């Protein structure tokens, strides 16, 4: 994965007692649905595989006899432009203006956090969909959850937009525009 739960915890509060796998689900969703369609599968896979040796197919991770991942391909091995796209930095645009890009990791952290906030308190049980509260917790109104989630999503999309502007400037490769879905009335 491009980021882990601890990366999100550096920018937004997530309780330490929350199972990391519950957050990892939203990191994977945000990567697949928000990041990969924008930066492309090739860069997304390259960023996700940093620190891992993979086979020629690019998907199978190479491990030692004990099953431990063999590490290679660190961030320092990335070209400067890709490193900046991943982690953020400053660049000077065509007009000589100093610009800042916050990087794909920061965008992904906010987008995954937005998904987590919106969905984390909902559990599917044998008795239906339920919300669980601890003995010391107080439920928050859906309006507040929506506001926190929307705020994080907007920040993540702004960071992702800055990545697109940066990549278009430094690269001859274009990043596909996000398609807007149009719905037509049935029978028209």
Q: Token pair of 173, please?
A: 């490769």
pTM above 0.85? no
Nearest-angstrom CA–CA distance, 89 and 36 = 21
Q: Which of 46, 105, 55 is nearest to 73 (CA)?
A: 46
More confident residue, 70 or 94: 94
The tens digit of pLDDT for each residue in 119-173 reads 877 667 776 766 666 666 677 788 888 899 999 999 999 999 999 999 999 986 5
Give residue for tokens 């049935």.
186
Q: Which of 85, 91, 90 is nearest to 103 (CA)?
A: 85
Residue 57's pLDDT is 55
């Amino acid at each position: 994965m491009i980021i882990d739960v601890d990366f999100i915890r550096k920018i937004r509060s997530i309780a330490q007692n929350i199972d990391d796998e519950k957050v990892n689900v939203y990191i994977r969703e945000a990567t697949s649905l928000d990041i990969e369609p924008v930066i492309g599968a090739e860069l997304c896979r390259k960023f996700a595989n940093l620190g891992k040796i993979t086979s020629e197919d690019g998907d199978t991770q190479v491990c030692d006899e004990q099953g431990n991942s063999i590490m290679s391909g660190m961030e320092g091995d990335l070209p400067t432009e890709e490193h900046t796209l991943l982690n953020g930095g400053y660049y000077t645009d065509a007009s000589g203006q100093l610009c800042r890009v916050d990087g794909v990791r920061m965008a992904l952290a906010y987008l995954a956090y937005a998904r987590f906030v919106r969905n984390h308190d909902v559990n599917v049980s044998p008795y239906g969909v339920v919300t669980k509260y601890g003995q010391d917790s107080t439920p928050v109104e859906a309006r507040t959850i929506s506001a926190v989630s929307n705020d994080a999503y907007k920040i993540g999309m702004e960071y992702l937009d800055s990545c697109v502007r940066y990549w278009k400037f430094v690269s001859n490769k274009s990043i596909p525009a996000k398609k807007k879905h149009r719905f037509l009335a049935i029978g028209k």
